[in-house]
Amino acid sequence: FVKIEGSFVQQIVNDPKDRIMVEHINSMAHQFGLITVAEFVEDEATAKMLAEMGVDYAQGYYFGRPALPE
């Protein structure tokens, strides 16, 4: 797995430089046969853009908040 740092992911919708960085990290990982995971996905637009880029998995508040220990 290659985890894509959340500081790049958070602004991909509005920042072309971050979008290019995520696209290239994802592409390079896939060329090595690795699976990608994007961190800090906080909204639908970001999740959709990552899916369109072909990022394999995403995690963040958009999908669910951490649960409190029982």
Would you say 11 and 49 are in contact if contact means Cβ atoms under 8 Å apart? no
- Each residue's pLDDT tens digit in the chain (70 positions)? 999 999 999 999 999 999 999 999 999 999 999 999 999 999 999 999 999 999 999 999 999 988 888 7
Q: What is the pLDDT of residue 70?
A: 76
Q: What is the pLDDT of residue 9?
A: 97
Q: What angle do CA 52, 21, 63 make, to 5 degrees?
A: 50
Q: What is the pLDDT of residue 4?
A: 98
Q: What is the pLDDT of residue 65?
A: 84
